[in-house]
Amino acid sequence: MPPKRKVSIAPMIISQDEAASSSSREGDQLNRFRTMASAIAKQFTCSISQELMVDPVIAEDGNTYDRAGIEQWLQTHTTSPLDPSCTLTTERLLSNRAVREAIEALVESSDIDEDTCDEWREKKRSLLRHTLDLKRAQELFDAGRVMDAAKLGLPKAQGIMATRFYSGKDGEVKDLDKCFECATKAARGGDKDGQFRLGYAYYDGEGVEQNWIEALKWYELAAAQGCKDSMYNIGVMHEIGRHGVPQDDQKAFDWYRKAGEYGDDDAVYEVGTCYYNGKGVSKDLVEARTWFHKGSSRAVECKFMLGFMKVRGEGGPMKIIDGMTLVEATAKDGCAKANDLLAKFIETGAAFVL
């Protein structure tokens, strides 16, 4: 068997110029990769905070925001920061899992600026601490420890404490300063009761200097979450027109109607009155009678007006006995208009005239 042939391997000699060129190409490639990574990171930057998102969520306008950023935005706005024609609510924010995982992978790759990564990690730790605090706060709230839950930052608990301090009930002494403090925290956390209470504080100047512009802002945020009391009060502000809020009967009617559709008895009466007098809307006695009938089982003013219209045959058939029965019943319930009208009728025998 012939001996194996030895194969000699000549060493590869690379010149300094070739080495430098290779190193340069690798450096250029690395820079390109980092540039690409930075460009990708910009796509994951929240348009509100201008920072890399920690908890990305999709809003109703189709855009993705950092949850903290969009929730803070919605504390003082009801529409999208990128599309003012689109109404947003915190309840309909959906987690964007795909974007979150992509951001986490990008941070772990170390392909982007280290300071950016450090800031992101610190924000994530803060978010975790905040989440744990809110979880503990919710447990305390469920156990009936509302004050302790409020101290840990639970907006719902803060809103309840604002109401307790306002009314001086449930073991708390009436304190408008504490009411304002709790309402402010609750409102900024998105709690509709806190937003209403803060709006009322600014409206009446309780615990803070009166400011109807601020009151209107917080009322509108609460109204966007279905707070009928806020809707009604917005209607009152537009009907009165004062302190920088323009008088506008049509807006007043629109807000009264919204509140009435949510079941606010005072608003139901105001809607009927607007239709009866043609204020902010075309005069329509049929609609007026319909709205007064809607509120007659709960609101004495509505019951009185329904009786009054039946006696006069306005907006429907004349039913004098039914109408008088309603008017007399409201007089017994303390309705001043009913008592005045009955006294005038007894004295003069004149037809019902308001």
Q: Which helix (H) or strand (E) holds 306?
A: helix 300-312
* Residue 237: exposure state from Cβ atoms within 10 A (0-12, 13-18, ≥19): buried
> Would you state the structure tokens that stand for residue 343, as one six-digit string?
């006294």
**Percent with pLDDT over 90 in the chain:** 58
Q: Answer for the pair 237, 198: CB distance below 8 angstroms, yes or no.
A: no
Q: What is the average pLDDT across 324-331?
A: 93
The CATH label, of 3.40.190.170, 3.40.50.10140, 3.30.40.10, 3.20.20.100, for the domain at 32-129 is 3.30.40.10
Q: What pLDDT was estimated at residue 295? A: 95
Cα–Cα distance for residue pair 310/321, rounded to 1 Å: 9
Q: What is the CATH number of domain 144-213?
A: 1.25.40.10
**pLDDT of residue 30 exceeding 70:** no
Lowest mean pLDDT among 65-69, 94-98, 107-111, 263-267: 107-111
Q: What pLDDT was estimated at residue 76? A: 77
Q: What pLDDT was estimated at residue 13? A: 53
Lowest mean pLDDT among 25-39, 77-91, 286-300, 333-347: 25-39
Tokens 């919605």 belong to 74
Q: What are the distances in angstroms from CA 166 to CA 29, 42, 61, 132, 142?
A: 65, 46, 37, 29, 22
Residue 134 phi, psi (nearest 5)? -65, -35
> Would you state the structure tokens that stand for residue 304, as one six-digit string?
């009185």
- Per-residue burial over 250-289, b if 16 or more Cβ lie within 10 Å, else e, is ebbbbbbbbbbebebbbbbbbbbbbbbeeebbeeebebbb
Q: What pLDDT was estimated at residue 35? A: 55
Q: What pLDDT was estimated at residue 230? A: 97
Most confident range (mean pLDDT) of 25-34, 41-50, 330-339 is 330-339
Q: Give which of 114, 100, 96, 95 is closest to 37, Cα–Cα.
A: 114
pTM for the structure as a whole:
0.73
CA 316 to chain centre: 41
Cα–Cα distance for residue pair 301/269, rounded to 1 Å: 7
Locate CATH 1.25.40.10 in the chain.
144-213
Q: What pLDDT was estimated at residue 353? A: 63
Q: How confident is the model at residue 102 (pLDDT cuts 50, 70, 90)?
A: confident
Cα–Cα distance for residue pair 169/353, rounded to 1 Å: 43
